[in-house]
Structure 1
Amino acid sequence: MLSEKMQEALNAQINAEMWSAYLYLSMSMDCAAKGHKGVANWFAIQFREEQDHAQIFMNYVLARGGEVKLAPIAAVDTAWESPLAAFRQTLEHERKVTAMIDNLCRIAEEERDYATANMLVWFVNEQVEEEENARGMIEAMEAVEGNKFGTYMLDKELAARVYSVPSPLAKGE
């Protein structure tokens, strides 16, 4: 059974994951509108992944006998100066999400909630990957900045990115 404090923190994380999804959907739509279809695809996949992260948390709360309390999602930006600017905001945002996951780990430790601590290990590892991916995209965008052919090729490469179901959902957890 989840403590009230942990349940509230997990519900806040669910809302944050849904906000992240909304942010990445907005980035995808902005990039698509500006002709960056590959970058739009990259962000569309991020949108789906963030929804999956929220679902993993919701499944966990329910599995522990808790109550999922969905809250309104705050507004997000709707336009970015460039795909590079969007990726820079992505890294900044993912760092905030990492801090939130770390906070959940602290609460689990304080509460001696080992089941939640164990579940959170997947998210700790996922955040390392999320930050690494965002940094890699920034480096790639900076490398081709001002080079139309390079930008075209990078956009084409990003169009090939495919969605993968996160392992906790693939296992039916």
Structure 2
Amino acid sequence: MIEKDVVALLMKQVNKEFYSAYLYLDIANYYADQGLDGFENWFTIQAQEERDHALLMRQYLLNNAEPVTLTEIAAPDNHFETYRDPLAAVLKHEQYITASINEIYKTASGHHDYRTLQFLDWFVKEQGEEEKNADDNLKKYDLFAGDSKGLFMLDNELKTRVYAAPSLVL
């Protein structure tokens, strides 16, 4: 049985992961409007990943006989001035999500909830990758997007990303 405070944090995280999917789809829409198909592709796939993260957490709760209550997902409220703005916002958002996962981990650890800790290990590793990807995209933009050719090449690179479902076994 999972302690109620851990369940509550996992439920909140489900919402945060769905919000992340909304956020990344909103960013994909922004880049689509700007004609940057590669950026759009990258963030559309990122939205799929975040949705899958929410579904994994939902399934973990259900597998542990915890009823899941979905709550309202806030609409993203972003107004970007430059192509760089979403990339900086993403890094900040991923750091926020990492802190949230770490809080769940800390709480589960305090209860000696080893099953939940083992489940969360995948998310801890995943967040390391998420932050690195966000940082890499921002750095590449800063390095290469100063001229139209660099932006074109970066957009083409981002266009090659393909969706891969998470490989977490529940």
Residue 91 (1) aligns with residue 55 (2): no
Partner amino acid, structure 1, of 2:46: Q
Q: Relative to structure 2, which stretch is displaced further, 136-145 or 18-27?
A: 136-145
Report % sequence identity.
Answer: 39
Partner amino acid, structure 2, of 1:102: N
User: Which residue of 2 is the match for residue 33 of structure 1?
Assistant: 33
User: Which residue of 1 is the match for residue 152 of structure 2?
Assistant: 152
Cα shift at 1:78: 4.4
1:105-160 Cα offsets, whole Å, 9 max, x none, are: 01101111110011000000000000000010011000123210110011011111
Partner amino acid, structure 2, of 1:59: Q
User: Which residue of 2 is the match for residue 69 of structure 1?
Assistant: 69
User: Which residue of 1 is the match for residue 163 of structure 2?
Assistant: 163
Where in structure 2 are there 5+ consecutive unaligned residues?
none
User: Which residue of 2 is the match for residue 49 of structure 1?
Assistant: 49
In structure 1, C-alpha distance between the alignment counterparts of 2:145 and 2:61, rounded to whole Å = 44
Partner amino acid, structure 1, of 2:8: E
User: Which residue of 2 is the match for residue 58 of structure 1?
Assistant: 58
1:4-63 Cα offsets, whole Å, 9 max, x none, are: 111111000000000000000000001001111100111001100000000110010000
For the aligned residues, what is the CA RMSD? 1.0
Cα shift at 1:81: 1.9
SS of corresponding position for 1:163: coil
TM-score of the two chains, using structure 2 as the length reference: 0.97
In structure 1, C-alpha distance between the alignment counterparts of 2:145 and 2:155, rounded to whole Å = 12
Partner amino acid, structure 1, of 2:151: T
Q: Relative to structure 2, which stretch is displaced further, 70-79 or 4-13?
A: 70-79
